[in-house]
Amino acid sequence: MPDTPIRVMLVDDHEVVREGLKALLNRRDTMTVVGEAGTVAQAIEVAARERPDVVVMDLRLPDGTGIEACREIRSQMPDTKVIMLTSYADEDAVMASILGGAAAYLLKQTRGSQLAEAILGVARGESLLDPQVTMRVLEEVRKSASGKRAGSPESQLNENEQKILLLIAEGKTNREIAAEIYLSDKTVKNYVSNILSKLNMKRRSEAAAYIARRTPETNRG
């Protein structure tokens, strides 16, 4: 057991979830909730101020994704661990979360007591995947290990992501991309953030430059 309680921060735009988690976690001597946020911007601001040991992060936030917030917080405070706590088990979100530096990925049906154990675990440096998502992730890893390893970085991208990457390279905005492929702006934004994360890039201009370099007819070098 740590000498001082683990400092926990909760990021979720649903107050009913934050309140429930706070009440359960604060009952324990081993941890204390030191901050809360409901948006990506707030999460980054509160994390910088409170410097939590562990952040419990929702995936879907009004102004962006929890993955973006995770990446930003981890780049400023590499010792802070992030647990994604979300309604979604799709493999893209799981992979993007792991690549974004999350230490754990749990579904919103995890009991408060299990989440508390996960918080203690990641604080000790462990990683944790919800059993329901583990199978999907293993499948994804096996897929990328068999045959795709020698491929180009964009072979990590799924079909939609590859399509969107090419549209980014054409200089299209999220709104234009959304109109072209019949998805919402928000979904496109999530895709773009996953693409950048998978390609280990920070800005869409880097992705555009990468495609320009890779495509022979635009290769001026």
Q: CA torsion sign, 110 to 3 to 82 to 100?
A: negative
Could you say which of 4, 78, 79, 111 contacts other proteins (CB under 8 A)? Answer: 111
Here's the x/- map for other proteins, 69-88, by CB under 8 A: it reads as ------------------x-
Instruction: Indicate whether 219 belongs to the interface with other proteins (CB under 8 A).
Output: no
Instruction: Indicate whether 202 belongs to the interface with other proteins (CB under 8 A).
Output: no
Measuring CA to CA, which residue among 176, 174, 202 is closest to residue 190?
174
Could you say which of 1, 50, 56, 60 contacts other proteins (CB under 8 A)? Answer: 60
Q: Which one, 65 or 156, has the nearer CB to other proteins?
A: 65
Instruction: Indicate whether 184 belongs to the interface with other proteins (CB under 8 A).
Output: yes
Instruction: Indicate whether 173 belongs to the interface with other proteins (CB under 8 A).
Output: no
Q: Which one, 162 or 184, has the nearer CB to other proteins?
A: 184
Rounded to whole angstroms, how far apart are CA atoms 89 and 140? 13
Could you say which of 176, 180, 185, 206 contacts other proteins (CB under 8 A)? Answer: 185
CA dihedral 42, 43, 44, 46 (to 10 degrees): 80
Element (H, E) at 57: strand 54-57
Could you say which of 44, 140, 187, 206 contacts other proteins (CB under 8 A)? Answer: 187
Here's the x/- map for other proteins, 7-46, by CB under 8 A: it reads as -----x-xxxx-xxx-xx--x-------------------
Measuring CA to CA, which residue among 49, 123, 42 is closest to residue 82?
123
Binding residues for other proteins, total number by CB under 8 A: 23
Q: Which long-range contacts (CB under 8 A, 24 or more apart) does 66-69 make?
A: 66/11, 66/40, 66/97, 67/93, 67/96, 67/97, 67/100, 67/102, 67/193, 67/194, 67/197, 68/40, 68/100, 68/193, 69/11, 69/40, 69/43, 69/44
Interface with other proteins by CB under 8 A: which residues? 12, 14-17, 19-21, 23-24, 27, 60, 62, 87, 108-109, 111-113, 184-187
